[in-house]
């Protein structure tokens, strides 16, 4: 019979005929056969099952084996013995390897036939040993899955005893760690996933039957995923040095009881034997498991471990893992099968990583395309996920406001999606953070990278130092000032100017993407500024300019003293002392050629005149300034009062508006810190000084002419507030408008010898090279005793003209003193045109000096004690005739009797032309990040992001004749920065070399960690909904 069957299956007869004959052979199994005949049939059917060249022959072999084994059980028991099974498992069958799954198929079929025979017990004992040996050899997924299927059908074959059972579970975990898919097509991936599921299902059965094996198995799992590649290699037979534990290990997580999470996570995070590197490696690989389809609870374990690490303040691990894996987690959102878990982990990582925008900004470039993909799907599940993602993105953009260039495309993409309320956003953020700004964080966050495409260098935030970074970048982009600083010869000097020169040199020439200004920060920080807390950038700017100015004056005075000492060989000690005293006494009154660099670049002069409205006597004073502080005035107050109406306790002849410390140097006095014509009708607080203004002027001793002027000013103010958006021009007009001193703030007139109503006017008599304007956005709330921010949008003109009224003669008194007693008899004409300094000729008409916007420092936030600063700046080549602005089309700032600007100004056309003619000339400096932007983005910033408002403005004077001469004698540079001194260039060269070396070292050291980001490539399977 065996010969007939063998000839039949190998013949060329038609397949239907063969099947008919095979059916008859199977039916003949019921007839009695000799032992030799049975053995021959068993041998033939075994050969057909294991070595059949085609599916038909293998099927025939299985049918014949099952039929003859069932009817001739004793003979089959003798054939299917220990020797046969052991030989198959260890040596294979003929050319068939012992690692072929067909071997296990045959053994499982044989066990079914002899289950009722006594010899099966001997085979069970054999298979217990062989099963452990097989898993120790790291079988491939098909063989391992087939073994697990056999062990699942015959649990008697599982290794017995706690020791062997535990060893089997641990080795099976390691075997799963070596699984790799052998194909990338969907059918192959589906088969691979089913094989992994078969193996993990067996482990679940073992853990359920023997609970003592669960915890050691999990410890083995953690050992695998936390080990470095070299350690894993020692524990395996794989020689591929690129080996990474398979994400198939994720299939085990769903079988771990959730009630064990708390105990296991606490044990892992508090175990002193678990090193940070091991924990980082393990967490990275667990996050990779999010790529595994059908796995349940992976995100639960990942989030639990993240929270556990935060609880024990393992912030370095959390930072490293988040920055390394955040993009991978975000990319999982593209695949519906793993999207829920990926979104949960992404939300936790972003909402907890609240000390820096770095993690969020890694995924920002990919958000828009994902949003559009969700919208195209149109599926309910995609819409639901889009709503969750949109809420998360809004929370992040709210928390990290101040990056309009990054967020505008996202806002456009999600504009039709519901936006969470501010209260909900705050609640979500407050419940999620695992750390606040810690002193250890900046060092953890400084990652090496090259310069951006802009060619500009950012400044690393050293811990709430954005107020300094934004100011430094604005000063650096003030081209003439930068060139003067870089050209100074400061060798051997440890001054603040030398440190600024060092900082500017590195910003210009370093290869780093961002520079850490630690030395300059420590040297320039005002002593009352609390380290690592938010400060006022305007206050810092004034302090910095004052320090630089005073330092230069002192150095010049010392230098002059030293020179004088060398020519006094025969003079007495008394004469020497007198000469020294004269040098210091004359220093504040230096001529224009002796002015400090700060005076040359930022210094201007303003004349303040106070006219008694009773006797018409007048007091005047000139004051120096480096910035003008422009106040807001509420529209309701403006409408009710017209001119600025100030009520103070008492004002006498020594009354003066606030001036900065530069005025102190010129006048020899000590006034407050900045020039401020507040005059507002609100209660305004600036630098700790509260000014209270009322809206009801005292009309006592006020003539009809003065009342007419009040009406004129009311008309002007109403026109000023009539527009929806204020402009810088409006605020400057308000700054220069006359101010009535009345009520409690009456002026003490020396001539009248009593308090009188008076009018105060201010005129700019000398314009600065760089005009710095500070918008006073922080108002004092007397009810809550806090400084609130004025969020009004202010239009920023690109081109601005400043009215400068230069007199033909100077004041009869020295600069800084008051000239008193000037009368004006004609009270029926405009008072502003009749105010004259004592002994002066006719005051000249205002000359309009053109300025162009250079930099804008933006404050993002709702209070002065919090928020973020960043700056916009324009790439300006420097001073020189520009011809960019003409009097007929430029913005004008006029006195109160002149007409205010109309809403439609010809200068708007000029601004648009200027901005379109010079593309990529604007930059956005946001701490370490520098990007290209446009003037349109600067103009729209507050309308797009209501908390982001212009705060400090830098305007550069055009048609300047006192710019820096770039045509040096040595001809080394033209229209560029000067060549650096040798010591500066050497320092920069050395730092660039160290940077490149550290960058190379970082790449080498991070190779093992980066390799953990590799995945199995399950995209085709995961894309199935």
868 is annotated as an active-site residue: yes
The helix or strand, by DSSP H or E, that contains position 799, with its residue range, turns out to be strand 799-804
User: In Å, how far are 48, 109, 390 from 130, measured between CA atoms?
Assistant: 25, 17, 55
Q: Which residues pair with 869 in a beta bridge?
A: 859
User: In Å, how far are 326, 456, 992 from 361, measured between CA atoms?
Assistant: 10, 19, 26
Q: Which residues pair with 922 in a beta bridge?
A: 874, 933
Farthest-apart Cα atoms in the chain, separation = 148
Q: Which residues pair with 611 in a beta bridge?
A: 618, 759
Closest by CA position to 762, among listed 857, 838, 668, 832: 832
**Six token digits for residue 970:** 């040595």
Residue 169 near residue 207, CB atoms below 8 Å: yes
CA distance 664 to 661: 5
Considering the candidates 466, 537, 645, 749, report the single residue annotated as catalytic. Answer: 466
The neighbour count for residue 312, using CB atoms within 10 Å, is 12
Map residue 716 onto helix, strand or coil. Answer: helix
CA distance 262 to 691: 58
The neighbour count for residue 685, using CB atoms within 10 Å, is 20
CA distance 296 to 247: 13
Place of tokens 């955040």: 326
The neighbour count for residue 880, using CB atoms within 10 Å, is 15
466 is annotated as an active-site residue: yes
CA distance 692 to 685: 9
3-state SS string for 513-577 = CEECCHHHHHHHCCCCCCCCCCCCHHHHHHHHHHHHHHHHHHHHHHHHHHHHHHCCCCCCHHHHH
Phi/psi for 727 (5° steps) reads -120, 165
**DSSP codes joined into one string, 809-841:** S--SS-TTSPB--------SS-GGGT---TT--
Round to the nearest angstrom and report the end-to-end CA distance of the chain.
54
Q: Which residues pair with 338 in a beta bridge?
A: none
Closest by CA position to 429, among listed 472, 406, 397: 397
Closest by CA position to 346, among listed 331, 361, 357: 331
**DSSP codes joined into one string, 983-998:** HHHHHHHHHHHHHHHH
Residue 870 near residue 466, CB atoms below 8 Å: yes
Q: Which residues, in sequence order, are CB contacts of 522 under 8 Å at separation 6+?
A: none
CA distance 567 to 402: 59
**DSSP codes joined into one string, 31-82:** S---HHHHHHHHHHHHHHHHH-SSHHHHHHHHHHHHHHHHHSHHHHHHHS-H
User: In Å, how far are 65, 466, 659, 706, 746 from 647, measured between CA atoms?
Assistant: 112, 37, 19, 17, 7
Alpha helices per DSSP H over 289-357: 298-311, 315-331, 339-352
Residue 820 near residue 609, CB atoms below 8 Å: no
User: In Å, how far are 332, 490, 984 from 981, measured between CA atoms?
Assistant: 53, 9, 6
Phi/psi for 730 (5° steps) reads -60, -45
Considering the candidates 549, 868, 907, 1022, report the single residue annotated as catalytic. Answer: 868
Residues catalogued as catalytic: 466, 868
């Amino acid at each position: 019979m065996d010969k007939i069957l063998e000839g039949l299956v190998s013949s060329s007869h038609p397949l239907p005929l063969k099947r008919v004959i095979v059916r008859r052979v199977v039916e003949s199994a019921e007839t009695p056969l000799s032992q030799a005949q049975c053995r021959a049939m068993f041998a033939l059917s075994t050969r057909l099952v294991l070595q059949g060249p085609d599916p038909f022959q293998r099927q025939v072999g299985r049918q014949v084996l099952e039929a003859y084994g069932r009817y001739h059980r004793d003979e089959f028991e003798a054939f299917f013995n220990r020797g046969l099974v052991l030989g198959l498992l260890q040596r294979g069958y003929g050319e068939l390897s012992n690692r072929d799954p067909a071997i296990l198929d045959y053994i499982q079929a044989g066990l079914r036939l002899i289950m009722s025979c006594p010899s099966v017990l001997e085979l069970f004992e054999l298979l217990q040993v062989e099963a452990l040996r097989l898993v120790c050899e790291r079988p491939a997924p098909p063989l391992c899955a087939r073994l697990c299927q056999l062990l699942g059908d015959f649990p008697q074959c599982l290794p017995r005893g706690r020791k062997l059972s535990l060893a089997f579970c641990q080795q099976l975990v390691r075997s799963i760690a070596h699984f790799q898919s052998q194909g990338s097509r969907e059918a192959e991936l589906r088969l691979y996933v089913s094989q992994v599921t078969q193996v993990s299902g067996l482990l679940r059965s073992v853990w359920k039957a023997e609970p003592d094996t669960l915890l050691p198995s999990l410890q083995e799992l953690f050992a695998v995923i936390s080990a470095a590649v070299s350690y894993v290699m020692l524990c395996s037979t794989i020689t591929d040095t690129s080996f990474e534990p398979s994400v198939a290990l994720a299939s085990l997580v769903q079988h771990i009881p959730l009630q064990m999470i708390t105990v296991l996570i606490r044990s892992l995070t508090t175990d002193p034997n678990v090193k940070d590197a091991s924990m980082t490696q393990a967490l990275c690989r667990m996050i990779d498991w999010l790529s595994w389809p059908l796995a349940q609870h992976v995100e639960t374990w990942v989030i639990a471990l993240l929270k556990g690490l935060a609880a024990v303040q393992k912030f370095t691990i959390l930072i490293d893992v988040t920055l390394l894996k955040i993009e991978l987690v975000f990319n999982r959102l593209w695949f519906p099968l793993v999207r829920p878990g990926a979104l949960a982990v992404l939300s936790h990582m972003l909402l907890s990583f609240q000390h820096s925008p770095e993690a969020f900004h890694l995924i920002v470039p990919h958000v828009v395309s994902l949003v559009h993909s969700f919208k195209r799907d149109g599926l309910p599940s995609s819409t639901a996920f889009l709503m969750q993602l949109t809420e998360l993105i809004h929370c992040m953009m709210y928390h990290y406001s101040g990056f309009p260039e990054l967020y505008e495309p996202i806002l456009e993409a999600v504009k039709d999606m519901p936006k969470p309320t501010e209260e909900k956003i705050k609640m979500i953020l407050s419940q999620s953070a695992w750390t606040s700004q810690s002193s250890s964080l900046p060092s953890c966050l400084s990652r090496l990278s090259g310069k951006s495409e802009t060619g500009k260098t950012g400044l690393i935030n050293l811990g709430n130092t954005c107020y300094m970074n934004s100011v430094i970048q604005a000063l650096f982009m003030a081209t003439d000032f930068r060139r003067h600083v870089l050209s100074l010869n400061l060798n051997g000097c440890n001054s603040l100017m030398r440190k600024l020169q060092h900082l500017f040199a590195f910003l210009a020439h370093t290869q780093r993407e961002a520079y850490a200004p630690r030395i300059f920060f420590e040297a320039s920080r005002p002593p009352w500024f609390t380290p690592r807390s938010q400060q006022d950038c305007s206050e810092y700017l004034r302090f910095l300019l004052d320090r630089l100015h005073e330092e230069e004056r002192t150095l010049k005075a010392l230098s002059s003293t030293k020179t004088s000492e060398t020519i006094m060989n025969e003079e007495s000690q008394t004469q020497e002392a007198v000469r020294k005293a004269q040098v210091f006494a004359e220093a504040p009154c230096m001529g224009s050629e002796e002015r400090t660099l700060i005076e040359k670049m930022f210094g201007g002069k303003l004349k303040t005149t106070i006219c008694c409205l009773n006797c018409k006597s007048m007091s005047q004073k000139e004051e120096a300034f480096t910035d003008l502080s422009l106040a807001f005035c509420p529209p309701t107050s403006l409408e009710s009062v017209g001119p600025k109406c100030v009520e103070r306790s008492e004002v006498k002849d020594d009354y003066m508006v606030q001036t900065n410390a530069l005025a102190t140097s010129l006048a020899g006095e000590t006034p407050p810190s900045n020039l401020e014509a507040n005059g507002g009708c609100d209660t305004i607080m600036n630098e700790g000084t509260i000014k209270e203004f009322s809206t009801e002027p005292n009309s006592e001793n006020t003539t009809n002419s003065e009342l007419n002027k009040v009406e004129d000013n009311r008309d002007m103010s109403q026109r000023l507030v009539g527009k929806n958006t204020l402009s810088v021009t409006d605020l400057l007009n308000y700054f220069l408008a006359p101010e009535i001193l009345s009520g409690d703030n009456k002026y003490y007139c020396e001539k009248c010898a009593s308090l009188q109503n008076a009018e105060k006017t201010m005129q700019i008599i000398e314009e600065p090279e760089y005009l710095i304007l500070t918008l006073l956005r922080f108002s004092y709330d007397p009810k809550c005793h806090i400084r609130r921010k004025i969020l009004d949008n202010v239009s920023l003109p690109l081109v601005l003209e400043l009215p400068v009224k230069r007199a033909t003669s100077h004041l009869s008194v020295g600069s800084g003193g008051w000239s008193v007693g000037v009368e004006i008899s004609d009270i029926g004409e405009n008072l502003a045109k009749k105010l004259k300094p004592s002994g002066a000729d006719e005051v000249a008409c205002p000359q309009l000096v053109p300025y162009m916007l250079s930099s804008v420092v933006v404050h993002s936030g709702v209070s002065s004690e919090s928020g973020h600063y960043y700056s916009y700046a324009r790439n300006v080549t420097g001073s020189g005739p520009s011809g960019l602005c003409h009097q007929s089309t430029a913005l004008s700032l006029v006195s109160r009797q002149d007409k205010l600007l109309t809403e439609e100004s010809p200068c708007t056309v000029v601004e648009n032309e200027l901005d379109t003619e010079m593309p990529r000339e604007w930059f956005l400096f946001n701490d370490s990040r520098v990007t290209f932007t446009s003037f349109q983005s600067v103009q729209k910033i507050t309308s797009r992001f209501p908390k982001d408002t212009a705060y400090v403005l830098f305007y550069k004077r055009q048609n300047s004749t006192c710019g820096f001469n770039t045509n040096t004698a040595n001809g080394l540079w033209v229209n560029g920065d000067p060549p650096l001194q040798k010591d500066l260039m050497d320092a920069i060269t050395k730092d660039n070399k160290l940077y490149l070396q550290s960058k190379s070292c970082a790449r080498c050291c991070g190779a093992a960690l980066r390799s953990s980001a590799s995945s199995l490539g399950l995209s085709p399977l995961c894309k199935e909904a």
